[in-house]
Amino acid sequence: MPEAIMTTYKRLDVAFETGQGAWLIDGQGTRYLDALSGIAVCGLGHAHPGIADVVAQQARRLVHTSNLYRIPLQEKLARSLAGLAGMDRVFFCNSGAEANEAAIKICRKFAAHKQLSDPLIVVMEGSFHGRTMATLSATGKPEVRAGFSPLLPGFQYIPYNDVSALEQVEAGRGQVVAVMLEAVQGEGGVVIPDPGYLQALRRICDRNGWLLILDEVQTGLCRTGAWFAYQHEGIRPDVVTLAKSLGNGLPVGACLASGTAAGMLQPGSHGSTFGGNPLASAAALAVTEIMSAGNLAERAAEFGRIMLDRFRAELGDLDEVVEIRGKGLMIGIELSRDCAGLVDQALEQRLLINVTAGKVVRLLPPLVISEEELHHIVDTVCLLVKKFAG
């Protein structure tokens, strides 16, 4: 019963019983086109047969042993992710928040290694890194942090997509050890940094001996038209975090590190009971293999261009439309005023969308979506926005 559940979500009055590809089906058999993918989780769509078969087979063999023992599937997954990301080592956990917690702990260990007593991690205004106490403290959205003081110290907030702001921090000669940010701010409204921004941050970190940490929980694994969004800029971070689409719905997160950062966590300094267990590792391995075989990064790039071109052509001249932006199959349509009501209106049209940052329609369709389904999303959203604009 709903009243037995804590009210941490304002849920829509619909419940789904089955799914297939880009579609979800409720108990009455009504089909809804999913343009949100469980908030960028189900990149391969719902009930993908390849994932379902692997999970079922693994569940019959072995689900969990703990990290007290070697887990060959975890080792294979780590090699695969490290190769795709250009990183050295991987820590497995169960969520994006946990992956970001691991990244923050790497920074703290790095600071101890440098004998810094009051280390600072520079983070971005408008960011979202999770709801645990450390990741909440790193999140640059005051409304999310409200009511949870005292927060964890050691974070300095600066404007996103502003190189000069980091240069001012650099000039201050404080005890900065790392810069942590999202490659694209998803919860912040699909905010895409200028070309060259990540490269500039990489240069600043290099000349100061700081770690560069990229939160790719939402953008990672082909969503933006590359395996990782930082690859568009031709850089490599010291730490990158993943979750969401890694398990296509199964809880699994990962913190990848390279160079010095890869050796910071040693036995006893961090852990996870369930992280990288055989079931989660089998699912995540299947996800990466299916994405690779289907060239889904290239597909996301192509389909994202189609959606952006159509949205800009049909909505770009409306006074109520502030900006239409996107990277791959990560689309944001910013309107001039609060538009949360569009979520319910889309539901009436049997389309699942999301509004974030109050006035940004966020679209994160499955990477396996067909072109016909893609155009259906565009048609419906354009209809809703035009009606909204009056």
Rounded alpha-carbon distances, angstroms, from residue 231 to 25, 49, 59, 196, 220: 36, 30, 35, 12, 10
Catalytic residue among 215, 303, 327, 359: 215
**Long-range contact pairs involving 198-203 (C-beta distance under 8 Å, separation at least 24):** 198/230, 198/233, 198/235, 199/233, 199/234, 199/235, 200/163, 200/166, 201/163, 201/166, 202/233, 202/235, 202/236, 202/237
Backbone angles phi, psi at 335, to 5 degrees: -105, 170
327 counts as catalytic: no
Catalytic residue among 109, 141, 244, 327: 244
Among 199, 191, 200, residue whose Cα is nearest residue 141: 191
26 counts as catalytic: no
Both tokens of 184, joined, read 């694209």
**Which residues lie below 8 Å from residue 22, measured CB to CB, with a gap of 6+?**
33, 34, 45, 46, 365, 366, 368, 369, 370, 373
Query: Does residue 140 contact residue 133 with C-beta atoms inside 8 Å?
Result: no
**Which residues lie below 8 Å from residue 160, measured CB to CB, with a gap of 6+?**
124, 125, 126, 127, 140, 181, 185, 188, 191, 193
Give the separation between CA 252 and CA 15, rounded to whole angstroms.
24
Edge-to-edge order in the sheet of strand 360-363: 321-326, 331-335, 360-363, 354-356
Catalytic residue among 91, 92, 110, 128: 128
Place of tokens 């991987």: 90
91 counts as catalytic: no
Query: Does residue 166 contact residue 208 with C-beta atoms inside 8 Å?
Result: no
Q: What is the CA radius of gyration of the chain?
A: 21
Residues designated catalytic? 128, 215, 244
